[in-house]
Each structure stands twice: as structure tokens, then as C-alpha cells.
Structure 1
Amino acid sequence: MKIAILAAGGVGGYFGARLAAAGYDVTFVARGKHLAAIRKNGLRVTSPLGDLVIEHPKVVEEIDSIGKVDLVLLAVKLWDTEAAARSLKSVVAQGAAVVSFQNGVQKDDVLARHLPREAIIGGVCYIAAVISEPGVIAHSGTMQKLAFGEYDGTRSARVEAFDQACQKAGITTEVSRDIRRLIWEKYVFLVGLSGTTASIRKPIGPIRENPHTRAFLLDVMHEAVAIGRAKGVALPENYAEDRLAFCDSLPATMTSSMHHDLERGNRMELPWLSGGVADFGKALNIATPRNSAIADILELYAAGTH
């Protein structure tokens, strides 16, 4: 199985490195200092599950220079989805499937504006990994899971092949017959975690312990559930309460990548997370006061402050 990784950030770099270490033909797409460091020193991963170094990885600057591949793992930031989709036309025309492990629920609709629907596999990833320095991916915690599946619920040969590759690479997997629901389940939690930690500027511990901020977190997730149910996603009515209980099981110091981005002055995925819930609410005539407030409060920081 030939696999392309677009791009070799925290998510793509980690899972791509695990697949490459298992012997699969993996080509990474990277830019700038990260690309230069990978070419010079290889791609390094630090992880509680075991460090690894891919000594001489295949790495390119543009994906259309790769040629024919079987599968593209898409892991760019959400604002780059449109450009990434356009860049994938050539490899998809040669038979590649695309599975996005990005955040949000809008990603595959954006891909489908540029690529055939049948080329797109639904995906969700669960991991905390970042580029700690050029050429180095730092994985924190032990969670490293990929869930994926065809949108029509079938268990296709390409999904089976990727599942086998992941298992050989030591990656936890779930092949789903209802991948849209899984994507929305993660979205509900992610909207709650990112929206509250970024707007309150605290990790999850203090937020869940204070009755006012705990209620705020629950309301944020309730709104996301209401939007998903209105869109026909099979989320239980009490799913926000389920995710609040999950929040209670997390380390008190856990925060979100959006909170990290805010603190560092980086661009944030706000328009697709709380901003996305607010936009869906306007389109569906569903009130989303908490998420709308988060989007408004963070608006001045959304593009980054560098």
C-alpha cells in the first residue's frame, strides 16, 4: 500500500512515521524548516509508546510530484482544506482515495467540492501530537487512534487494507459503519473543550470544577448536539451529558490546541468549531448563544496576532 501524508505535522507526522516504520511505502509532504530538517536528520517521533526515527524518509514539497499512490492521509489545518483539495486532483485522478483526519464536520464537504465523493473516506483521529521542533513530532499521552469508514457503511477493500496497515504499525483503529456519527461525536466534545479552554483561558480542570463554568461547558456541547440532530445525525439527546462525564475523566491539566494557538498568537480553527456551530445555527434557525458568544469573544484573535 502506497500512502501519502499531507502534511507531516503532529497528526500526519506521527501516524505516517508509524506506518513507515512498519515497512509501508510512505511519502510525506512538508515545507520550510520542517522539510529541511527531515531531509537532513530524518523524521523523529518522541512518544510514551516508544520513540522512533525514520532515517531517510520520502519527503516532498508538493503532493503532485509524488505520482500514483493508493491513499492520502489529509491532516492540514482546516483553513488549508480548500487548497489541499485542489492539490489532490491529480493523485485522485490516478486512483488515490483520500481520508481526512482533520478536526470539524465540514472538511469532507469541502473536499467534495473539488474531488469525487467516491474518493473520500470518512475519518476521525484521537491523539495529542505536535511539531516540537523542525523534524521532530512529540506525542503526549498514550492515545493514538484512527477511526475511519466508507460513508455508505460498506467495509470496502481499501478500508480493510488501511486497517491492516495500521494494525501492523501498532496504531489503534476502529472501522466504522457510521463514520458521520463518529465525526460528529468528536465534534461535540472538541467544540466544548476548545471553546471553553480558549475563551476562559484555563485547562479543563478548573472549568469542570466551578459550577458556573461547568454549566457553560455543558451548554456549549448541548448546542452542538442540537445542530447535529437537526442535520440527521444519530446523536442521543443526552449526548452532551455523556461528554461532560468524559471531561470529568480527563487530566485536570488537559487543554485544547485552540487554547495553545491563542496563547502563542497563532491562527485558530475557531470559524469551524464554535464559529461553525454558530453558522449552522443561523442557517437552521437554532439558537446557539454560547457558541456565538465564544466566536465573538475570540474573533479578534482568530487570525493570529503575530
Structure 2
Amino acid sequence: MRIVVIGTGGVGGYFGARLTEAGENVTFVARGAHLEAIKSRGLTVYSALGDMHLKDVQCTENTRDIGHADIVMIAVKLWATDEAIQTAKPLLGKNTGIISFQNGILAEESLIAAYSSQHAMGGVANIAALIEEPGVIRHNGNMASLAFGELNNTQSERAQSLLTACSRANIKAEIPDDINRAIWEKYIRLVTMSAMTTLCRMPIGPIRDEVHTRNLLSQILAEIIDVGKAKGLKFSDNVLQEQLDIIDGYPPSMVASMCGDLRRGYPLEVPWFSGTIVRLGKELNIPTPANGFVYAALKLFEHGRPIEAQI
């Protein structure tokens, strides 16, 4: 397959490298020092599932030089979604699928608005990985999986071809029965993990072990589920406990990437996480006080660390 990865960070860098190593025709879109390092030294991935060092990687900043792709994987931070959508424009052929593997629940709407449902697909990436230094991706833990599919949940040749490519690359991947529900189920955990580890500046282990922080975690989780149900999502009857069980199974040292963004002084995705839940709650008349608290507490760091910050 001809695959283009827009955003060569933890998600795009890891899964794109696995696909490249397996022989797929992958081009990475990157910029700045990361791009220059990949061009000069290749792309290195450190992972408990197997390290990789790929030389002569196809990597560029200009998508006009690439041609049409079979699949475009968007893996940028949420605030860069609009730019990534424009970056993808020269890559579109008649049957090109564009899949957002970003965090959140709004990217698919943006893809449909820009390119119609003919091209837009849904995706979920489950992994803890980051750029350790230019040209180097660090995968933390053993979790690394993808889910993707057509937004109307029909079977398609392009989704099946990507699934086959993932199998060749030893990537755990699936086409779920309902990709929209899969996106929301990840979002439930993502917003909760991002809220609690960023707010507490702590990994999930101590947070879930302390009764007060665990209660706040559960309340955040429950509010997101209530909003999802009001949006028409069909969750299982035990969805709250199921999601708590998944979080309880995470390594105690696990933190959300937003916690690392706060520590490094980077912009936060909180408007797309708790901020979106608060907005949807107002629209749907669903109370979201816990998510409102998180959004207010982190709002001043939305655009990066303010000069007045005491951390």
C-alpha cells in the first residue's frame, strides 16, 4: 500500500515505522529538527516490542511531491487538525481513505466537512509513545494497537487492505463492528486519564489508589458516558465498570501525553477533552461539574506555560 503519515510523533512515527519495516510504501510528513534528523540519520524507534532503526526513510514537509496515496494517516495534535487536512489535499485520489488517529471525537467531522464521507474514515490508536529527541521515538509499555473502518460501518477494500498491511507488520489491528463507538470508548478513557494525570501531576497508580482522587476519576468518567449516551452512542449496560477495569489494568507508571505537555510547557489539548465534554453537556442539558472543574483548573495552560506559572 501507499501510505502517507502526517505527523511523525509517537503515534505516526511508531506505526509508520512498523509498516515501513514490513515493506509497505510509507512516506512520513514532518518538519523542523525532527524532519532533518530523519533525513540525515533515519528514524529510530525504541520499544519493548522490538527496536527499529530505519535508514533512507521517505520523509518530507511538502506533500505536493508525493502523489496520490491509498491511505493517509493523520496523527498530529488536535490543534493542528485544520493544517493537517490542508496538507493532505494533494494526496487525494479517487479512492484515498483519510483516517484520523488523533485523540478526541471531532476530527472525523472535520474530515467529512473538508473531503466528504467518500474519503473520511474513523480510527483509534492505543499507544503510549513520544518523540524522545529529533529522529527518535520512544514507545512506553506494551500497548500498541489500531482500530479503523468506514464511518458508516460498511466493509471496504481499503480498510481490509490496511488491515492486511498491519498484519504483515505484526501490528495488532481490527475493523470493529462500530468504529464510532470504538472512538468514543477510547475518548472516555483518554479524557479521564488526561484530566487526572495532568491535574494531579502524577501517574495513574497513586491516583486510582487514593480514595478521593479515585472518586473524582469515576465522576469524570461517568459524565463523559452520560454525554455519549445523550449523543446517541449505544454503550453496554456495564460500560462504566468496564472502563474502570481497563484503567485499573494500566501500568501504575502510566501518564497521559497531556501531562507531559504540561510539564514541558507545551499547549494542552484540554479544549478537545474536558472542554468539549463541558460544551456538549450544556448543549444536551447534561451536568458535567467534574469536567468543568478540570477545564477551569487547566484553562490558563491551554496555550502553553504562562510566564506567571509557578511550575
Report the TM-score range of the alignment, normalised by the length of the smaller protein. Answer: over 0.9
TM-fit CA distance, 1:94: 5.0
Q: Which residue of 1 aligns with 2:234?
A: 234
2:165 is the counterpart of 1:158 = no
* Deviation per residue, 1:137-190 (Å, 9 max, x gap): 111111110011112222211111000000001100111120000000000111
Aligned to 2:167: 167
Q: Counterpart in 1 of 2:57? A: 57
Paired AA for residue 249 in structure 1: G
Q: Distance in 1 between matches of 2:7 and 2:255?
A: 23
Q: Compute the displacement of 1:63 (Å).
A: 2.0
Equivalent residues of 2:277, 2:291 under 8 A apart: yes
Map 1:1-306 to 2 at 5 A. Answer: 1-93=1-93, 95-305=95-305
Task: Give unpaired runs (5+ residues) of structure 1.
Answer: none
Counterpart of 2:178, as a letter, is: D
Q: Count matched residues.
A: 306
- Is this contact kept in 2: 1:100–1:121, CA < 8 A? yes
Gaps of 5+ in 2: 307-311
Distance across 2 between alignment mates of 1:64 and 1:236: 45
Between the aligned partners of 2:295 and 2:52, the Cα distance in structure 1 is 39
Q: Which moved further from structure 2: 166-175 or 207-216?
A: 207-216
TM-score using structure 2 length: 0.95
Query: Offset at 1:93?
Result: 4.7
Shift of 1:260: 1.0
- Paired AA for residue 176 in structure 2: S
What percent of counterpart residues are identical? 44
Paired position in structure 1 for 2:309:
none
Q: Is the 8 A contact 2:130 2:137 kept in 1?
A: yes
Partner of 1:123: helix, strand, or coil?
strand
Residues of 2 paired with 1:106 and 1:87: CA distance? 18
Separation in 1, partners of 2:144, 2:37: 24
CA–CA distance in structure 2, aligned partners of residues 53 and 11 of structure 1: 16
Question: How many Å separate the matches in 1 of 2:154 and 2:297?
Answer: 42
- Once the two structures are superposed, residues 211-239 of structure 1 have per-residue CA deviations (whole angstroms, 9 ceiling, x without a partner) of 11111100001010011101111113542
Contact 1:43–1:54 under 8 Å retained in 2: yes
TM-score computed with the length of structure 1 as normaliser: 0.97
Q: Deviations over 1:111-145 (max 9, x none)?
A: 22211112011100111111111011111111110
Query: 1-side partners of 2:88 and 2:263: how far apart?
Result: 33
